[in-house]
Amino acid sequence: MPSELAKCKVAARQSSPMVTEWSGSEKGNLEARLREGGVVVAYAGCSMRILTQCRVGGSYQWQRTTTATDLLEIDSEDDLFSKLPLGAVSLEGELKNSGRLAMQTTVSGQYRLSGLSANDVPTIGDCKGATHVVGSLSVGAFKLKSGGGTTTHGSVAVAGAGSARGGANRDETVLRQAGDPDHCRTSSGENLDPACSSPIQMFLLPLPSAPKEGAIGTMKVDFVSGTADRTWEVVVDEKLVCSTPCTQWVRPDAPLVMRAFQGKDRKGGTVSFPDLRAHAAEAPLEIRAYPKSRGELATGITFTSVGGVTLTTGVVLTAVGCGDSAASCRGGIITALVGAAVTAGAIWLILDSTPRADITPRAQPQESGTSSGETERAGVPSSTWGPISLSGTF
């Protein structure tokens, strides 16, 4: 099951979230900012924040539209996060208890932005962190209800009268409402009825300088080489997509392979990942690949031979010596233990020499300008993939 964090990341890719679930103070702040110029927001996860100090000019003009009423029915958590992302977290408990939510909206018009484009919005100073500007805002009335619908169905056959169907209706409760749908029908092109002016839905324009989002269901991954003398090809779903360093949006369930190159030759081996689903909630990710270490491999092979001979010698001395004298027995045991230790260390060197890749949540750059590759990683969960092993720190 996707985590709440993963669901919020998918929800945040919508460009037209409902704002009915905002508190009265948040809606009041939004309405005040609409009168002052373009509204700039930071939209991430299941939350949106208005950057009140970010003044960018422009103005919103009221435009009457054909009055329209819509009903959103929500029967699952997936529905909740996709249809009401900004209120999803607070409504999860109510949905679980009632089994159903329904949002009825009546819209009579929009406030539309003019005199400003997304290219005009900076992302520094008071506008730091900005991701979108509100292109338009639909207003009207809404009512959020819980429960309702039929919970059980059945049929009873009656001789000579066919069959009768029955069901038990759940009680329906109004959770929140604002505005009056009847007043929405009286709004004109010149005047907006105050009883039909509650914010309903935002239509956002992404800023060109804001981080780009991939397709829904994908996750952002930075692919980098752990050594300066290697370049890695990134293959997703058996298709070559890029060479390190590069950034890609990939499906968590897609098979992934990284192949090491040195110059024009394929040297350093490959690292394969069945999928990245276990890391979906940690996205964006960094995958840092390390090639096969020939020095470690040669050392491991050499000491495996030495350790094996020493271990064999110790076993023989122990078998012979323990039947003759205590001193010879102790010497054989010590030799065998030394041989075993050398062999174990040599095997570890051989295993450690294989190609591997470290997977960590992508480190955020420091304010001082430190790059993501140099940012302190202490305490960050990570895992290491190799041809025959998987390890991690959590």
The tens digit of pLDDT for each residue in 256-294 reads 998 887 655 555 578 888 888 888 888 788 999 887 655
Least confident range of 73-77, 178-182, 296-300, 375-379: 375-379
Percent of the chain predicted with pLDDT > 90: 20
State how far the Cα of 2 lies from the Cα of 281, in Å rounded to an integer: 8
Give the pair of three-digit tokens for residue 336: 């065998």
The pLDDT of residue 151: 46
The residue ranking higher by pLDDT, 263 or 45, is: 45
Q: Label residue 101 by pLDDT band (50, 70, 90).
A: very high
The pLDDT of residue 77: 86
Name residue, tokens 């390190």: 244
Most confident of 11-25, 141-155, 286-300, 317-331: 11-25
Does the structure show a pLDDT above 60 at 199?
A: yes
Give the pair of three-digit tokens for residue 29: 């702040």
Report DSSP state, residue 124. Answer: S
Name residue, tokens 């069945």: 274
Does the structure show a pLDDT above 60 at 372?
A: no
The tens digit of pLDDT for each residue in 212-250 reads 666 667 888 899 988 887 888 899 988 888 888 888 888
Name residue, tokens 């081996």: 269
Residues whose CB falls within 8 Å of the CB of residue 95, separated by 6 or more in sequence, listed in order: 74, 76, 77, 80, 101, 146
The pLDDT of residue 368: 34
The residue ranking higher by pLDDT, 58 or 389, is: 58
The pLDDT of residue 138: 94
On whether the CB atoms of residues 322 and 334 are closer than 8 A, the answer is no
Q: Label residue 189 by pLDDT band (50, 70, 90).
A: low
State mean pLDDT over 289-310. Answer: 65
Q: What angle do CA 146, 152, 155 make, to 5 degrees?
A: 150
On whether the CB atoms of residues 111 and 140 are closer than 8 A, the answer is no
Q: Label residue 374 by pLDDT band (50, 70, 90).
A: very low
pTM confidence score: 0.56
Least confident range of 35-44, 87-96, 183-192, 284-293: 183-192
- Alpha carbon 75 to its chain centroid, in Å, reads 23
Strand-by-strand arrangement of the 382-385 sheet: 246-250, 219-225, 285-290, 356-361, 382-385, 390-393
Percent of the chain predicted with pLDDT > 70: 67
The pLDDT of residue 378: 42
The pLDDT of residue 291: 79
Residues whose CB falls within 8 Å of the CB of residue 361, separated by 6 or more in sequence, listed in order: 282, 283, 284, 285, 286, 380, 381
